[in-house]
Chain A
Amino acid sequence: MSPEVALHRISPELRPLLCSVVRNGRVGLDSTNCLRVTDLKTGCTSLTPGPCCDRFKLHIPYAGETLKWDIIFNARYPELPPDFIFGEDAEFLPEPSELPHLVQWDAGNPECLLQLVKELIQQYHHYQCQRLRESSRLLFEYDSLLEDPDYGHNMEIYAGRKNSWTGEFSARFLLKLPVDFSNIPVYLLKDTALDPGEDVALLSVSFEDAEATQVFPKLYLSPSIEHALGGSSALHIPAFPSGGCLIDYVPQVCQLLTNKVQYVIQGYHKRREYIAAFLSHFGMGVVEYDAEGFTKLTLLLMWKDFCFLVHVDLPLYFPRDQPTLTFQSVYHFTNSGQLYSQVQKSYPYSPRWDGNEMAKRAKNPFK
């Protein structure tokens, strides 16, 4: 159900509350998607006219799961606070005193419901952490992470209910990695069509059993970051070491990601340097170059009255990866009607040269 439809059907007095939830509501670590509303129903008699829905199901992403909570208002008494049914978590019973927005419910404040939901999520998180106590191993993991200031406050834990077949206990940790993505060049992030939202990297570690013998880590990146880093295939995180623990593993992953990001940033700067050097060396011969991402450069050179084009493609992981030189003739056509071109990859090259050096050395292969 799209937010607009939901807002249209809900009782007018409750509309502001729902609006803030649907439009701006982001709770939890995974805030790429807004909260979703489904199953809009009414508590009035069926003969009541007009939009009078006052109860719905709210889908909340949490720790890799989606919580489906029923929220029950009364359209005839819109000033009254709502009631909740916590779906399958029948044992989750938060203490009302921990929910200030419930105790001092203010129907006039449009943000009230959203705030209340956030508080409930917080209580839910505590409830799940309590459930971790069934497994000492996982509890240890949790406690150790809690102590670390980097991770302790950006954690969502879902302690799954025991598998009825095997009686196993499972849990999932969702951690927000404190990686700084701010220095990633803007252009790299621009290619995504959607609103990228906050750049975030989430590490989800699933423990399929209480003894942590089956652990499945997964890294979730926001789309722009993923694109900037070269797609989902580019980043492989190491497997969870058996017998290892999160407090060691998570920083490892974090470091890996940070390095990657650094590398990307460095690559950008290196490319810029390369292009700048070429520009200075081949000044007049530059046809065009990518001034934002510095990935391409085209030169028109003349060697003994022979004019040719040189296209330089700089890969993402430059300078590690060698740029590709494509020589293209301006005179000759191939059989298929294209300009004759020859790709040259193997030329003396070293990543350690700086831009100037590369420009100088590049003259040779041009010849």
Chain B
Amino acid sequence: MAASISGYTFSSVCYHSANSNSDHEGFLLGEVRQEETVSISDTQISTAELLQVVEIHNHDPCAQLFSFYDYAGKVSEENLNSILKDRRKNVIGWYRFRRNTQQQMSFREQIIHKQLTQLLGVPDLVFLLFSFISTANSSTHALEYVLFRPNRSRYNQRITLTIPNLGNTSQQEYKVSSVPNTSLNYAKVIKEHGAEFFDKDGVMKDIRTIFQVYSALQDKVQAVCAEVEQSERVKEKIQEDVNKLKQQIALRKRKTEEEERKLCEAQNADSHSTPEENTEPSEASLLSRITFHTPSAPERSRIMFHTPSAPERPSTSPNPPSYADLLTQDDSLPSSSSSPPTSAALLPRPQAVGSPGHPTPGPLGMGLGLGLSLGLSASSNPVTTPSTPYLGNGDGSSSDSLDRQAAGQEDDDDDDDDDEDEDSSEYENLVSEATHLPMVTASVLAQGRPAALSPDGDARGSQTT
């Protein structure tokens, strides 16, 4: 149990007591409330603590001793009522002031307390005892006060009485007490000037505006959540596509190698020299062009790309443009060299990259390569806008086109003639590519090589931020 008394009530009681020339007594008015503290911690289940708080708001001094009891200590209810009048229901205790006596309840006080508890119907009636001690030469006077709750067990009777804001309030918080304000003047002033601060419901206006801001922010957050969810789904989808494409690439690569091997053997037999050196880089460049980077935040780039083990294969860029972006940019950005218009629907066949003669794949391939490079370079320019609408269809169609390409590849493989043609055309392409697009390849290569990634990566990184 805790008890508190407001500073002004305490000083008022002291004033009345100290000015009386004999013992002094009166009643304490206030309220008792229960405080429940629930503490939750990781280590234990939540515990609830119940605390009874006694608050003394006011006091009612008695004009003289024996005003409501007689010599035998019997309390007279009529006298009690005439003293308290309508304040009777607020009584939570009574007090007594005695000079130069012990801090112990006296015989008569105990008798009266028992009767008051019954009459007033307050089970935990408190008794505040003031005792004033003076030294013999009147140099030092001490006012001691003890709050008792005599209705409890003998060993638990004293309660500490706190006086809020008694002390150094510059270091502590100034506590506002919960004493109800019954002043008429106060009520009048508040009523006059209250409209400036409060709206018609009695709620402060500022609170309402703040709440509106809060609601708006909440709505925006909700919208962004939806967008985030959608983009995440798109990203998932693209990731799947990329994986598929990778598989196809791997497959294709194996086939290419086989064919080359065969070709080599054939050529060796013919004692033909082939520019094998060129194939490597062009192949690398092919492959580099093929690998698509999907748009991502840095996390995405981390998640998705493990480029195949070929050394020439470019590693992921931190902010590669989206596939859709890539395609749109192909349209929008001026290319260093010929930037053919690309159709979003089709991806060029890998072997057709670099071949100027090849109508569809060529320009596309060129475009792709360029686009890629451009895209890659574009990624270094802070132009990519994240808010472009996602082209789901584009994704689907791109994968379709790749599939078609793969299928085409398969067909080519199956078909010897085609294969031969393709092979030859492939080499032509490669050669032409090597000659015609030194810049591109170089640039692609430059960009593709992992070593070169870091400056670009940085650029991209900066772009992402």
Contacts and interface: CB of A to CB of B under 8 A. Distances in A.
B107 A46 contact: no
B106 A97 contact: no
Given A42-B99, A44-B22, A55-B100, A83 B106 contact: yes
Given A77-B65, A83-B109, A46 B138 contact: yes
A58 to B, nearest CB: 13
A97 B111 CA distance: 12
A120 B234 CA distance: 97
Contacts of A48: 21
Given A74-B23, A80-B66, A44 B99 contact: yes
A320 B175 CA distance: 91
A44 B20 CA distance: 8
A85 B104 contact: yes
A26 to B, nearest CB: 23
B243 interface: no
B23 A43 contact: yes
Contact of A93 (B65, B71, B102, B111): B111
The dominant DSSP class at the B interface is: loop
A135 B66 CA distance: 41
A74 B74 CA distance: 19
Contacts of A43: 22-23, 98-101
Interface in A36-51: 41-46, 48
A72 interface: yes
B101 A76 contact: no
A243 interface: no
Interface residues of A, number: 31
A46 B154 contact: no
A263 B98 CA distance: 59
A185 B102 CA distance: 50
A85 B138 contact: no
A1 interface: no
Nearest to B18: A45
Nearest to A74: B22
A75 interface: yes
Given A44-B22, A48-B21, A84-B106, A55 B74 contact: no
B134 A85 contact: no
Contact of B73 (A55, A86, A96): A96
A55 B102 CA distance: 11
B117 interface: no
Contacts of B100: 41-43, 55
Interface string A95-110: 0110100111100000
Given A43-B23, A91-B154, A97 B72 contact: yes
A30 interface: no
A90 B153 CA distance: 12
Contacts of B106: 70, 72, 83-85
Contact of B101 (A72, A94, A96): A72
Contacts, number: 74
Given A46-B134, A81-B71, A97-B72, A76 B22 contact: yes
B106 to A, nearest CB: 5
A365 to B, nearest CB: 73
Interface in A57-87: 70, 72, 74-77, 80-81, 83-86
A102 B99 contact: no
B72 A96 contact: yes
Contacts of A44: 21-22, 99
Interface residues of B, number: 27
B108 interface: yes
Contacts of B73: 96
A77 B101 contact: no
Contact of B107 (A41, A74, A83): A83
Nearest to B97: A43
Nearest to B64: A77
Nearest to B99: A43
A86 B105 CA distance: 9
Contacts of B98: 43, 72
B220 interface: no
B141 interface: yes
B151 interface: no
A93 B110 contact: yes
The dominant DSSP class at the A interface is: loop
B179 to A, nearest CB: 31
Nearest to A48: B21
Contact of A46 (B101, B108, B109, B141): B141
A105 B104 CA distance: 24
Contacts of A93: 107, 110-111
A254 B154 CA distance: 42
User: Which of A80, A85, A91, A94 has the most chain B CB within a 10 Å cutoff?
Assistant: A85
Interface in B88-147: 98-102, 104-111, 134, 138, 141
A220 B332 CA distance: 126
Nearest to A96: B72
B72 A102 contact: yes
Nearest to A41: B100
Nearest to A53: B100
A50 to B, nearest CB: 13
A59 to B, nearest CB: 15
Contacts of A83: 106-109
Contacts of A94: 107
Given A83-B107, A93-B111, A76 B72 contact: no
Contacts of A77: 22, 65
A252 to B, nearest CB: 41
B74 A96 contact: yes
B378 to A, nearest CB: 91
A55 B65 contact: no
User: Which of A43, A48, A86, A97 has the most chain B CB within a 10 Å cutoff?
Assistant: A43
A99 B111 CA distance: 14
Given A46-B141, A96-B72, A84 B107 contact: yes
Contacts of B105: 85
B88 to A, nearest CB: 25
Contact of A70 (B71, B99, B101, B109): B101
B111 A96 contact: yes
A97 to B, nearest CB: 7
B71 A103 contact: yes
Contacts of B22: 43-44, 74-77
Nearest to A84: B107
A85 B23 contact: no
Contacts of A41: 99-101
Nearest to B138: A46
Given A74-B65, A93-B107, A105 B71 contact: yes
A67 to B, nearest CB: 13
A109 to B, nearest CB: 14
Given A70-B101, A103-B71, A105-B71, A45 B21 contact: yes
Contacts of A84: 106-108
7 contacts: A41-B99, A43-B100, A70-B101, A84-B108, A85-B104, A97-B72, A103-B71
Interface of A: 41-46, 48, 55, 70, 72, 74-77, 80-81, 83-86, 90-91, 93-94, 96-97, 99, 102-105
Given A41-B99, A93-B111, 9 more contacts: A41-B101, A70-B106, A74-B23, A80-B66, A81-B71, A83-B109, A85-B102, A93-B107, A96-B73
* 5 tightest Cβ-Cβ pairs between the two chains A and B: A41-B100, A96-B72, A74-B22, A84-B107, A76-B22
